[in-house]
């Protein structure tokens, strides 16, 4: 299955083994140290940690791997990192920017 297929966006907490994938036509801009992402709706600004996760979402890393990287980068516990990654994935999924 490629990302050209119509995959329904999920609305539940992502499983740690799932791999989030950006929609091919999602948009991104880095302007003066701000990162903005957009799908079909209005652009939204990402926080610094969300930008860090966004950049690691390469269609290969799982939720667990993203959370692991966040733990190391920001020296936070795994549960908090998983929550942060899950929140971001759900937000961006609802905005039509990615799927998992």
Partner 1 sequence: MTVVTPHRCLELLAEHELLPAAPEAIYLAGSLVRGWGNPSSDVDVYVIVPEPWNRGDGETGPVSVAPGTVPIHAFIAEGRRWDVEYWTDSQVDELLGLVSWASFEAGRARAESLTTHETAFMQRLAFADVVTGAEWLSRRARQFDDAAVKTMIASRALYELDLLTEDAVGMVQAGDLHSAVLAARYAFGAAVEALLASHAEFNEQAKWRARRMEDVAPAELTFEDYWAIETMRDFDPTAPEKWVEDVLRVCQHIAGEVQL
Q: Would you tell me which residues interact with partner 1 (CB under 8 A)? A: 2-4, 22, 24-32, 54-55, 58-59
**H or E element in which residue 82 lies:** helix 78-94
Rank residues 53 and 82 by Cβ distance to partner 1 and give the closer one.
53
Q: In angstroms, rounded to a whole number, what is the distance separating the alpha carbons of residues 100 and 90?
A: 9
Minimum CB–partner distance for residue 24 and partner 1 (Å): 5
- DSSP code for 75: T
Would you tell me the crossing angle of helices 48-56 and 63-74 to the nearest 10 degrees?
A: 140
| Closest separation in Å from C-beta 58 to partner 1 | 8
C-beta closer to partner 1: residue 3 or 49: 3
User: Cβ closer to partner 1: 59 or 80?
Assistant: 59
């Amino acid at each position: 299955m490629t990302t050209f297929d119509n995959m329904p966006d999920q609305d539940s907490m992502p499983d740690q083994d799932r791999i989030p994938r950006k929609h091919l036509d999602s948009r991104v801009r880095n302007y003066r140290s701000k990162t903005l992402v957009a799908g079909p709706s209005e652009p939204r600004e990402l926080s610094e940690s969300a930008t860090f996760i966004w950049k690691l979402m390469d269609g290969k890393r799982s939720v667990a791997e993203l959370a692991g990287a966040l733990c190391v980068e920001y020296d936070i516990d795994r549960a908090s990192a998983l929550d942060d990654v899950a929140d971001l994935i759900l937000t961006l999924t609802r905005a039509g920017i990615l799927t998992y």
